[in-house]
């Protein structure tokens, strides 16, 4: 185990034993700078999609650097329900054998899918393999309504028939799937993956406009190319896919998780620590690194990872707007806001990808942060990307001294400490 994890695990275990918490609780004793080395794991946003892609192959696939997360468990169980044999030949590896793929039932799928949204990506591969896909009542983390209209419209464009019933959504393709010209209303990551996973075996060429081009999408394209797919990208978010009749399995190491890397970077900043994140990739973190530097963080890019540290002195406030890649990723704003609670002055973070992604600020305010969420954004701020009307803004005033919240946990060690008490301006503005 690496230094950071070992330290956290030991402290958490001791604190947990003292307060009698269950094994699945996490106890954090704050007030200490985090120092040490940690290896970033394979990306959550690639691993699960690559697992689904294995359904398209005629032979087994081997995925390496698979993170131990609940979405991976959900997808493993879903694949198993469809007859894919999922085994782990070595730690962090999954062998996925799709030779005996077979139909499943709504009840099984519903029970297994839980709150994950990944099951929707089974549609294309299942339509190719079985001529039918069943979609459960979709969950996902609570960050807005998270509709699936782009997915369903894309599947219809390929020639699929979408039937909604009280059990869920049944999708069939009695005449097979044909390549299509699709333009997404927004560069959705999931909908782009849906199109890729469907188009690779559809008859003819698919042109996808306004596609998402996140690094995990490019890694999924790499997986599909290894399997035998023909895919190329052009300027202006356009992806072409030429359908092929047959795909084989792949061997692939997942791209490293840039959200995990950004979280460790923010942890180094907020605890005035020094963390080497093994496996972190500069190319995938460029936009984050610019903001990290503007806030006052220091980093050093090395061949095997990136060292992030607090160089001393005061942190500076910033204005940030989340966006699709290559913009500032929506998943980075949460760890960034934690760090911004320690910056001197007022920071503004605009969320433009999801309509409701500041729920976590309540917990930070409980700990002493000063964050006001403006549900309709801030009119005075000019929008760089006037793409959609989802403009929540979080205004973070710092630095504030953060301490453990009084509810739920009996430990009370101080977290990262600085000066003034939180003002009265916390909470939500409509």
- Applying CB under 6 A, the residues found at the interface with ligand UD1 are 45, 117, 144, 146-151, 186, 188-191, 212, 329-331, 353-354
Q: How far is the CB of 420 from ligand UD1 (least distance, A)?
A: 33
In this structure, how many other beta carbons lie within 10 angstroms of the beta carbon of residue 70? 11
Maximum CA extent, the chain: 67
Residue 402 is a catalytic residue: no
200 near 241, Cβ under 8 Å?
yes
Cβ neighbours for 273, distance < 8 A, ≥ 6 positions apart: 33, 34, 35, 267, 309, 310
Q: DSSP class of residue 388?
A: -
Nearer to ligand UD1, 231 or 353 (CB): 353
Nearer to ligand UD1, 233 or 356 (CB): 356
Please tell me the distance from the alpha carbon of residue 324 to that of residue 388, in angstroms, as a whole number: 12
- H helices then E strands: how many in the chain? 12, 20
Environment class of 198 (CB within 10 Å of its CB; exposed 0-12, middle 13-18, buried 19+): buried
Cβ neighbours for 366, distance < 8 A, ≥ 6 positions apart: 405, 406, 407
Q: How far is the CB of 284 from ligand UD1 (least distance, A)?
A: 13
Question: 368 to each of 31, 363, 410, 427, how far by Cα in Å?
Answer: 14, 9, 17, 12
207: left (phi over 0), alpha (psi -120 to 50) or beta: beta
Please tell me the distance from the alpha carbon of residue 296 to that of residue 121, in angstroms, as a whole number: 40
Environment class of 317 (CB within 10 Å of its CB; exposed 0-12, middle 13-18, buried 19+): buried
Nearer to ligand UD1, 34 or 220 (CB): 220
Sheet-wide strand order for 251-253:
85-87, 93-97, 61-64, 251-253
Nearer to ligand UD1, 43 or 280 (CB): 43
Q: How far is the CB of 190 from ligand UD1 (least distance, A)?
A: 3
Q: How far is the CB of 345 from ligand UD1 (least distance, A)?
A: 27
Please tell me the distance from the alpha carbon of residue 12 to that of residue 105, in angstroms, as a whole number: 41
Nearer to ligand UD1, 13 or 290 (CB): 290
Please tell me the distance from the alpha carbon of residue 47 to that of residue 71, in angstroms, as a whole number: 9
Q: How far is the CB of 291 from ligand UD1 (least distance, A)?
A: 16
**Taking Cα atoms as reference points, which of 171, 169, 100, 165 lies closest to residue 133?**
171
Q: Name the residue number minimizing CB distance to ligand UD1.
A: 190
Angle, CA 41 vertex, CA 73 and CA 302 arms, to 5°: 170
Grouping H, G, I as helix, E, B as strand and the rest as coil, residue 192 is helix
Q: How far is the CB of 263 from ligand UD1 (least distance, A)?
A: 12
Nearer to ligand UD1, 331 or 370 (CB): 331
15 near 411, Cβ under 8 Å?
yes
Q: How far is the CB of 320 from ligand UD1 (least distance, A)?
A: 15
Nearer to ligand UD1, 58 or 149 (CB): 149
Tokens of 54: 């294995």
Nearer to ligand UD1, 329 or 372 (CB): 329
Q: How far is the CB of 191 from ligand UD1 (least distance, A)?
A: 5
> Of the residues 123, 141, 402, 407, which is catalytic?
141
Nearer to ligand UD1, 7 or 144 (CB): 144
Q: How far is the CB of 396 from ligand UD1 (least distance, A)?
A: 20
Grouping H, G, I as helix, E, B as strand and the rest as coil, residue 309 is strand
Catalytic positions: 141
């Amino acid at each position: 185990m690496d230094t950071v994890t070992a330290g956290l695990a030991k402290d958490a275990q001791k604190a947990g034993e003292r307060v009698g918490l269950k094994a699945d609780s996490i106890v954090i004793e704050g007030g200490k700078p985090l120092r040490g080395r940690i290896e970033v794991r394979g990306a959550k946003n690639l691993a699960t999609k690559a697992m689904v892609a294995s359904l398209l192959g005629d032979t087994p696939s081997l995925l390496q650097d698979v993170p131990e997360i609940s979405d991976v468990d959900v997808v493993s169980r879903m694949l198993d329900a469809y007859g894919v044999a999922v085994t782990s030949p070595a730690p962090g590896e999954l062998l996925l054998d799709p030779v005996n793929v077979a139909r499943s039932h709504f009840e099984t799928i519903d029970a297994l899918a839980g709150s994950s949204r990944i099951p929707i990506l089974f549609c294309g591969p299942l339509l190719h393999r079985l001529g039918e896909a069943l979609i459960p009542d979709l969950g996902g983390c609570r960050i807005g309504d998270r509709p699936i209209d782009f997915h369903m419209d894309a599947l219809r464009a390929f020639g699929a028939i979408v039937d909604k019933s009280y059990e869920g959504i049944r999708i069939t393709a009695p005449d097979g799937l044909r390549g299509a010209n699709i333009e997404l209303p927004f560069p959705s990551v999931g909908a782009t993956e849906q199109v890729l996973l469907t188009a690779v075996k559809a008859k003819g060429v698919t042109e996808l406009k306004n596609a998402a081009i996140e690094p995990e999408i490019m890694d999924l394209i790499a997986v599909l190319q290894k399997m035998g797919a023909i895919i190329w990208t052009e300027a202006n978010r356009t992806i072409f896919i030429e359908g092929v009749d047959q795909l084989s399995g792949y061997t692939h190491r997942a791209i490293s998780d840039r959200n995990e890397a950004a979280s460790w970077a923010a942890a180094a900043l907020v605890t005035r620590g020094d963390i080497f994140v093994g496996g972190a990739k500069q190319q995938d973190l460029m936009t984050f690194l610019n903001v990290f530097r503007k806030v006052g963080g220091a980093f050093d890019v090395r061949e095997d990872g990136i060292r992030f540290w607090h160089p001393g002195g005061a942190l500076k406030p910033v204005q940030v707007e989340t966006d699709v890649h290559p913009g500032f990723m929506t998943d980075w704003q949460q760890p960034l806001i934690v760090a911004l609670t320690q910056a001197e002055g007022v920071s503004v973070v605009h969320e433009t990808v999801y309509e409701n992604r500041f729920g976590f600020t309540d917990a930070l305010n409980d700990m002493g942060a000063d964050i006001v969420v403006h549900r309709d954004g801030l009119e005075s701020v000019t929008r760089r990307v006037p793409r959609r009307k989802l403009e929540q803004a979080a205004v973070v005033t710092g630095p504030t001294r953060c301490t453990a919240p009084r509810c739920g946990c009996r430990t009370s060690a101080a977290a990262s400490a600085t000066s003034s008490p939180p003002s009265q301006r916390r909470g939500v503005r409509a």
